[in-house]
Structure 1
Amino acid sequence: MKPPAISPCLGVSDTQAAVDFYEKLGFTALPAGNDPDDDLRILLFEGEFALMVYRDEHLRGWLPVLKDTPVGAFGMFYLAVDDFDSYVERIRPLVTVQKDVMEHQGQKLFYFTDPNGYVIAVTQKQTW
């Protein structure tokens, strides 16, 4: 698997709760290393790297410049899926909807937040 050029690592309040949430949405979680005290997890979507989640206290210890940064972020992440309509239908009862299905410049979008306040936009997979 080839990693993307930019790999998001989200600080979360409870790594296992974040993993459980994303697994309900069709992601697969992998440990990021061999250290049992390190709870960094790699999340795959449809077999491809999607993002990492890491307990906020560990992330702040790893990178002290983040020590006062709250969990959650200003901005959003986009998740491209093969079948927009069926994926949104499947996850709708599992998420907190922030903006229901809409169309923008010919692209369907669906926005939700995860349990840590991160905004995820679902979109139809496309080539650029």
Structure 2
Amino acid sequence: MKSPVIAPCLGVPDTQAACDYYERLGFTALPGTDDSDDDLRILLFDGAFAFMVYRDQHLRGWLPVLKDTPVGAFGMFYLAVEDFEAYVERIRPLVSVTKDVLTHHGQKLFYFTDLNGYVVGVTQRQTW
């Protein structure tokens, strides 16, 4: 698997809970390292890298500049899926809907907030 140009790493209070949550939404969680004491996890979607999750305490220790930063982020992440309608229908009962399906500039969007306060926008995968 090729690494992405930018690889988001989200600080979360409970790495296993975050992985369990995203696995219910169709992601696959993999260990981030061979070190059993390191709780970094890589999340894949449709077999491709999506992002990483890391226990917030470990992330703050690794980068002390983040020591006072709360979990959650100002901003959002986008998840591009092959079948927008089917995916949104499947995950709707599993997520906290932030903004229901709307069309903006001809593109359908659906937003949810995950269990740690991160906002994820779902969109139809496209080629530019």
TM-score by length of 2: 0.99
Structure 2 letter corresponding to 1:61 = G
| Structure 1: segments with no counterpart, 5+ residues | none
SS in structure 1 at match of 2:91: helix
Aligned length: 128
Query: 4+ residue runs of structure 1 moved beyond 4 angstroms?
Result: none
SS in structure 2 at match of 1:70: coil
In structure 2, distance between residues paired with 1:124 and 1:17: 27
Q: What CA RMSD, in Å, does the superposition of the two structures yield over aligned residues?
A: 0.4
Percent identical across equivalent pairs?
Answer: 79
Q: Over residues 2-41 of structure 1, what are the superposed CA-to-partner deviations in whole Å (9 max), with x where a residue is unaligned?
A: 1110000000010000000000000000001111111000
SS in structure 1 at match of 2:99: strand
Q: Over residues 98-119 of structure 1, what are the superposed CA-to-partner deviations in whole Å (9 max), with x where a residue is unaligned?
A: 0000000000000001100000
Q: Does 1:85 align with 2:77?
A: no
SS in structure 1 at match of 2:102: strand
TM-score by length of 1: 0.99
Q: Over residues 71-120 of structure 1, what are the superposed CA-to-partner deviations in whole Å (9 max), with x where a residue is unaligned?
A: 00000000000000000000000000000000000000000011000000
| Structure 2: segments with no counterpart, 5+ residues | none
SS in structure 2 at match of 1:37: coil
1:110 corresponds to: 110
Q: Over residues 36-73 of structure 1, what are the superposed CA-to-partner deviations in whole Å (9 max), with x where a residue is unaligned?
A: 11100000000000000000000000110000000000
